[in-house]
Amino acid sequence: MLAVAAAPEVSVALWACAVAGLSTIVGALPALFVKRLSPFATSLLLALGAGVMLAATAFSLIAPALELHAQLGLPGPPLVSVWAGVLSGAALVHAGDRAIPHEHFVKGREGHEARAVKRAWLFVAAIALHNLPEGLAVGAGFGGESADPGLVITAGIVLQNLPEGLVAAVSLLAVGYGRGTAVGVAALTGVIETLAGLAALGAATLVQALVPFVLALAGGAMLYVVVQEVIPEAYRRGVERPATWGLVLGFLAMLTLDQALG
C-alpha cells in the first residue's frame, strides 16, 4: 500500500492552502486606497500572472505528474495518465464556464441565464472560476512524499494572486461597487480557492496513486483558464507589447522560484 503524506507535511499543506486563498484578499486591500488602475498597469499585472500560471502548469504540475507516475510504478504509460488528467481539468473548467452564470470585466456576461443573477454574484463566480484551478494546484502539490512541489506552487500562486486580487477589486470599483464590496468579493473568492486546495489535498493524500492524475488535472484546469480568460483580458486594453513582456517576465519569475525552492 502506498503511504499517505506525513502529518507534519499535511499541516504545512493546510497552511499553504489558507495562505494561497488569503493572498487574493491581501492583493485586494490596496483597493481601499486606490480607485483605478491604468490600462497599462492592468494589462501588465494580468500578463505577469498569466506567465506565472503557465510556468507553474508546465514545471510544477505536468512535469512532476509524469515523473511521479513512473516513480510510483503505476500501470500504463505516464503520458496517457497525464493526457487524461489535463483533458479532465480543462473539461471541468470548460463545463463550469459554460454552465455557471458569471461576468468578466471586459468580455461581459457568460453562462446559463447570466442576466437573471445579481451582478455582484456574477463577478464572484467569474473570479472563483479563475481561482479554482489555483486552489487545486496548491492542494495537489502536497500530495506526494515531499512538500517541496507544494511550496513551489504556493509561492507561485501567491505571486500571481497579489496582482490579480488588486485588479479584480479595482475593476469592481470601476463598475460602481463600494470599496468594502470589492474587498469582500476578493475575500469570498479566496475562501473558494482555499476549499479547492483542501479538496485536492484530501484526494491526493488519501490515495497517493491519484497524485499524478490530480496534478495533471490541476494543470489542465489552470492551462484552460490562462488561455481562455487571463491572456485575453490582458490583451484587450491596447497594450499588447508590454503585456507580452509581462507574460515573459512572469514565466521567468516562476521558473526561478521553481529552481530556487524545488
- pLDDT given for residue 62 in this prediction: 92
pLDDT means per 10 residues, the chain with 262 residues, are 47 87 88 83 89 91 87 84 93 82 55 50 67 84 77 88 83 79 82 86 77 88 88 84 93 90 70
C-alpha cell at 56: 507553474
89/216 Cα distance (integer angstroms): 7
- pLDDT given for residue 137 in this prediction: 86
List of residues 6+ apart from 204 with CB closer than 8 A: 5, 139, 140, 142, 143, 144, 210, 211, 214, 215
- pLDDT given for residue 136 in this prediction: 85
- pLDDT given for residue 234 in this prediction: 86
- pLDDT given for residue 105 in this prediction: 52
- pLDDT given for residue 90 in this prediction: 93
DSSP H helical ranges for the chain: 7-28, 39-55, 63-71, 78-99, 119-141, 148-174, 179-206, 211-225, 231-235, 240-261
